[in-house]
Amino acid sequence: MSEQQPTENGINGAQPIQPGPLVLNLQYTKDLSFEVPGAPDIFLNLQEQPRLDVQLDVNARRLQDNQPVYEVALQVRTDAKLADGRTAFIAELTYCGIFTVSMAQDMLEPVLLVECPRLLFPFARNILAEVSRDGGFPPVLLNPIDFVALWQSRRAQGVPPVANA
């Protein structure tokens, strides 16, 4: 077996791997809350699937001045109501990622508010499904989100895009 010798251009002359324009450095649950206000009585009369009201938002902020490192937060709130109007459960999740984004300023906003949450969404979806199932209810399975439409809606409302951009 031959030893591979590092050279100026990497191992055996191969180009070293360079980080891309978008790097997900870390992802984590920043906040998670699951409440069943009517427990245990709510389980005694639970005969139908609760109706879900889902609210979703995305925020991004620069972590350090003069550094292309951002925290992107995907915030999801799910209110589950029974047919009689009683609250079955409330689930709130803030799921975040730390991203290094090295690209032109005009591309920064759509990357932070569309592409980054698109990468985080499957993990947040899984957490909500598990916590609702573990809370005694059918798992909440969020439908795919159109982050482009969400971003465009925020822009139309004049919501500031990125804190400290």
- Per domain, the residue ranges of the chain are 19-155
Segment 150-156 mean pLDDT: 87
Read off the pTM.
0.82
- State residue 35's pLDDT score: 97
Grade residue 122 by pLDDT with cuts at 50, 70 and 90.
very high
pLDDT above 70 for 23: yes
- State residue 3's pLDDT score: 54
Grade residue 157 by pLDDT with cuts at 50, 70 and 90.
confident
Q: What is the pLDDT of residues 34-82, one digit of tens each?
A: 999 989 988 887 788 889 999 999 999 999 998 999 999 999 999 999 9
* 3-class secondary structure, 113: helix
pLDDT above 70 for 17: no
Query: What whole-number distance in Å separates Cα of residue 151 and Cα of residue 113?
Result: 6
The token pair at 88 is: 């079955």
Express as a percent the part of the chain with pLDDT over 70: 84
pLDDT above 70 for 165: no
Q: Is the dihedral of CA 98, 100, 106, 111 positive or negative?
A: negative
Which segment of 13-27, 91-105, 107-121, 147-161 scores lowest on mean pLDDT? 13-27
pLDDT above 90 for 1: no
- What one-character DSSP code corresponds to residue 74? E
Q: Could you tell me the fold of the domain covering 19-155?
A: Bacterial Protein-export protein SecB (3.10.420)
Query: What whole-number distance in Å separates Cα of residue 70 and Cα of residue 117?
Result: 12
pLDDT above 90 for 14: no
Average pLDDT score, the chain: 87
- Tell how many helices (H) and how many strands (E) occur in the chain: 4, 6
